[in-house]
Amino acid sequence: MGAARSRLSGDDGPVRDDPTSGDPVRDDPSSGDAVREVAIADGEIRLGQFLKLSDLVGAGSDARPLLATGAVSVNGDTETRRGRRLHPGDIVTLDGAHVRVGGGGAGRPALFELGDPGPMRDRLVASVLRGDKTATSSLEVFYTIERMPLPRPGDRSLLAGSAGERLGTVEVLDVAVPRLADVGDDVAVAEGEGFRDAAEWRSAHEHYWEGFADAVRSHLRDPGWSVGNDTPVVVEWFRLVPPDEVPTD
């Protein structure tokens, strides 16, 4: 998703174009550094979403491990929560690049990003487009750590491919939060990844989620945390919205 482009007025310093991105750029009067500005549609946005929106990360899945390293700051203070709420005027810094949250732009809808960019996402997206994949799952602890609300029926977002291309609109139909041990065969089949039963589904997902264990332990300050029978799992059932049901504005 390319960053929203708009030219904003205000007293934040002279505006010029960033030749590499086309986003408005202002000189930060407090530091003398160039600050690129990216507009959002609403009054707030989550930090993880803004990192992707502003092209500071290549994919939404890159935000969590990056934030865990303490490399991102908001208004000069280190921030590790992907769910941190940002508002117009906040400045996000990564590797010497400064991006201010702008207001009043056209903005862009949230992204529906499955797995990691590359073969995994390509396979999962293809399954959605075929109509085979109608459910996805994540750990509730990810939402807790990032202070993000759980998905709700009726939520819509853009199905994203590995290269950031928009491939359709997805609508959440239902949400449940069972224990990992209670996820049934119905979820395994609805995930559309060829799992024969919940046991196969669990083996694959548990292996993937354990890859984030160190970051979770660090955030929770719980060195003993691990994925187990009682771990809450957020399951979303969704549909691919037909084009004639998607507003064109």
39 within a domain of the structure (yes/no)? yes
pLDDT in tens, 24-70: 434 343 444 577 888 776 677 889 888 988 888 887 778 888 898 98
Better pLDDT: 100 or 147: 100
Q: What is the pLDDT of residue 165?
A: 85
pTM, 2 dp? 0.61
Same domain, 121 and 227: yes
Same domain, 227 and 134: yes
Q: Judge residue 203's burial from the number of C-beta atoms within 10 Å of its C-beta, 0-12 exposed, 13-18 middle, 19 or more buried.
A: exposed
Same domain, 184 and 96: no
For 141, the domain range is 111-245
pLDDT in tens, 66-121: 898 989 999 888 998 888 888 888 889 998 889 888 765 444 557 788 888 889 99
Is the model's pLDDT at 18 over the cut of 60?
A: no
Number of domains, the chain: 2
Same domain, 166 and 65: no
Better pLDDT: 24 or 138: 138
Q: What percent of the chain has pLDDT over 90?
A: 42
Same domain, 26 and 51: yes
- Domain end residue (candidates: 53, 79, 102): 102
| Structure token digits, residue 199 | 């046991």
Better pLDDT: 11 or 55: 55
34 within a domain of the structure (yes/no)? yes
